[in-house]
Amino acid sequence: MKRLEEIGKENIHTLVIWTKNPQKIIENKGLRKYLKSIDQIYLLLTVTGLGGTPLEPEAPEPDRVLKALPDLTEFLGSPLRIVIRYDPLIDVVYDKNVHLSNIDSNLFQNVLDSVNQNGIRRIITSYVTVYPKVKRRLDKYNFQIIDHPLSEIKDFILKKIILQTEKLGMELSTCVLPEITKKGCIDGNLLTELHPRKEPCSTVKDKTQRKSCHCTKSVDIGIWFPCYHNCFYCYGSPTFQSSDSEKKDS
C-alpha cells in the first residue's frame, strides 16, 4: 500500500487490480478498509479453468475463485466492476500423457455460467505467448506446448466462445489479438461510466504497450516480486525461476 499512499487517494480515479486469488481482498481487513477509501476499484480476475492442475499448481481451483464472486461484488459495489480473464488460452501435454487445455468450449461454459449468475457482463481472453524463457521452462518441467495456428484460435473464439457469451447477453473481448476486438483491458470510457460520481477518466492510449493493445494509459504500481502460483507459462517471475538465463531474453 506504500505506493498508493505516495500517489495519494485524491489522485486515483480507479485502482485496477489483476489477480488469480482474490482471497486477500476478502479476508484482509486492513487492506479492505484502505481499498474502500479509494473512489473505485476495478478487478480483472483471472480464471483459466486450469487452477490446481500441474500447469498452475498453486493457483486456486476455479470453483473456489468463482464462489468468491458474491463477496467481491458486494465489496466493489457492482458486478460490472469485475471482469473475468479466461486468459491465456493454452494447450499442453504434461509428462507425455496428461493433456491440459482450456481451448475447450465446455470448460469455458462452466466458467461462463457461474460468472453470468453473478451479474458479471464482460470476459477477456487471449492466446498464450511462448517467450523463449517460457519455452525453456516448459521443456525443463516436462510440458510439451501444442502450438495452434492463430487462425485456429480465432475460429475457436469467433465460432464458439463469443457465441456462447453473446447467448447470455455478455461481452467477450480479446487482449492483443488483432482483427477480433478493439477494446482495451483498461478502458477509460468504461471507467468513467462506472465511477460513482461519473468523474471522467483519461482515454489516452498507452503507447508503452504492444502495438495492438488498446488499453488506456495507466500508472503501474506493481513490483516484480516472485509469484507463488507458479504457473509454468508465466511471463513474469514465478518462484521456481532461479536462473539468470530465464531473465535475459524474456
Higher-confidence position of 247 and 229: 229
% of the chain residues with pLDDT over 90:
74
Average confidence score pLDDT of the chain: 91
pLDDT tens-place string over residues 79-132: 999 999 999 999 999 999 999 999 999 999 999 999 999 999 999 999 999 999
What pLDDT, on a 0 to 100 scale, did the predictor assign at position 102?
98
State the pTM of this model. 0.92
What pLDDT, on a 0 to 100 scale, did the predictor assign at position 220?
87
- Please report the domains of the chain, with CATH numbers, ordered by start residue: 2-247 (3.80.30)
Q: How many other CB atoms are there within 10 angstroms of residue 108's CB atom? A: 22
The per-residue DSSP string of 105-128 comes to HHHHHHHHHHHHHTT--EEEEEE-
For residues 14 and 233, give the distance between their C-alpha atoms in angstroms, rounded to a whole number.
Answer: 29
The total number of residues written for the chain in this structure: 250
